Amino acid sequence: MTKSVLVSDEKLAAGIQFILSDVDGVLTNGQIIYDNSGVETKAFHVRDGLGIKLWQRAGLAFGILTSRNSQIVRIRAAELGIQTVRQGIESKWPAAAEMIAALKLTPEQTCYIGDDLPDLPVLQRVGLPVAVADACQDVRENATWTTRAAGGHGAVREVIERLLRAQDRWEEVASVGKVS
């Protein structure tokens, strides 16, 4: 159900300290590709990776929660310094609640980014539920924010940038490489 009361980005973002994200359909475009040897491949968007690093540079937590198990996800998480990773999770809310509690945070301090029905139990309990642009209808209806970008096409970066700008922290973390 869509929330009818408009709340400013600043107010929504103020307490968010943890972003938890699904993988397939959010950090990737949702395709699962196998080569002739049966090896799975996924494509991750480079801007999502930089966004995650900027979020962490701001001293904030990022986590991955996915129903599938994949060596590729382990590699990508390690490459980005993501330590909070849970794979092969059939029921996402209990796992999300454990991850949030382990960080000594509350669901209200959490943003969850999802795209499909298994994400609904988490989206319905966190402070900032977000759907990617190509999420299923039920997810979009339960989201406070819906990205312009589709999953795997920079949607996570879009959320991170919007949150950091609303928290007035974007300039501080994005200043690397800028010429004065």
How far apart (Å, rounded) are the C-alpha atoms in residues 125 and 119? 11
pLDDT band at 14 (very low <50, low <70, confident <90, very high): very high
Which residues fall in the annotated binding site for Mg(2+)?
A: 22, 115
Angle at CA of residue 80, ends 75 and 85, nearest 5°: 65
Distances, alpha carbon 153 to alpha carbons 5, 8, 21, 29, in Å? 29, 25, 14, 7
pLDDT at 107 over 80: yes
Which pTM value belongs to this model? 0.93
**Residue ranges per structural domain of the chain:** 27-173
Reduced to 3 states, what is the DSSP secondary structure of residue 114? strand
Kindly tell me the sign of the dihedral angle through the C-alpha atoms of 24, 26, 27, 28: positive
Which residues fall in the annotated binding site for substrate?
A: 24
For residue 54, which amino acid is it?
L
How far apart (Å, rounded) are the C-alpha atoms in residues 117 and 138? 7
pLDDT at 132 over 90: yes
At a CB cut-off of 8 Å and minimum separation 6, what does 137 contact?
none
Tens digit of pLDDT for each residue in 33-45? 999 999 889 999 9
Structure tokens at 155: 């949607």
Tens digit of pLDDT for each residue in 51-80? 999 999 999 999 999 999 999 999 999 999
| DSSP state letter for 150 | P
In this structure, whether the domain defined by 27-173 belongs to CATH 3.40.190.290 is answered with: no
Tens digit of pLDDT for each residue in 145-168? 999 999 999 999 999 999 999 999
Which residues fall in the annotated binding site?
A: 22, 24, 115
